[in-house]
């Protein structure tokens, strides 16, 4: 576990992204927070920034999005990036419904570190950050 330096929020809902960015910045104003609206944009972001310091330590990924959903992102992420690169990123899957099936499916993917139910809050972000970056 390392120190949290940057976060990538991947969600098609502008309000969710606004609130999540606000909550993260409340915890640490110095954190780099980037936002994309689907899995395809997230893959492109990682490809462009893979050799820079902007690689997110934490990637918060919605399951249900247009263009490329969270499941499509995980498949592409596993194919496009080597294991060493993938290990640098803690992926947390967001689910709108707290169903055992969705949680089990997410946790079965070797690239997923954790799951969380929408909506997130400052308290939930604190718990995630403490769990994965302390």
What is the band of 103 on the pLDDT scale with cuts at 50, 70, 90?
Answer: confident
Which phi and psi angles does 37 have, rounded to 5°? -105, 0
User: Can you list the pairs that 107-115 forms with residues at least 24 positions away whose Cβ atoms lie under 8 Å?
Assistant: 109/74, 109/78, 110/78, 111/74, 111/77, 111/78, 111/86, 112/74, 114/90
The Cα 36–Cα 34 span in angstroms is 7
Q: What is the pLDDT of residues 107-132, one digit of tens each?
A: 999 999 999 988 888 899 899 999 99
Domains and CATH numbers, the chain: 6-133 (3.40.50.2300)
Q: What is the pLDDT of residues 53-97, one digit of tens each?
A: 678 999 999 999 999 999 999 999 999 999 999 999 999 999 876
The average pLDDT across 13-38 equals 93
Which has more confidence, 27 or 53? 27
**Six token digits for residue 38:** 């689907």
């Amino acid at each position: 576990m390392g120190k949290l330096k940057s976060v990538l929020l991947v969600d098609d809902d502008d309000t969710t992204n606004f609130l999540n960015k606000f909550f993260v910045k409340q915890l640490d104003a110095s954190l780099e927070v980037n936002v994309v609206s689907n899995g395809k944009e997230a893959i492109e972001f990682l490809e462009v920034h893979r050799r820079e310091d902007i690689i997110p330590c934490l990637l918060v990924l919605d399951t249900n999005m247009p263009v490329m959903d969270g499941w499509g992102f995980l498949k592409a992420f596993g194919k496009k990036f080597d294991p060493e690169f993938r290990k640098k990123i803690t992926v947390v899957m967001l689910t709108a419904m707290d169903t055992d099936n969705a949680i089990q499916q997410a946790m079965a993917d070797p690239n997923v570190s954790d799951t969380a139910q929408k909506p997130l809050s400052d308290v939930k972000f604190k718990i995630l950050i403490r769990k994965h970056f302390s």
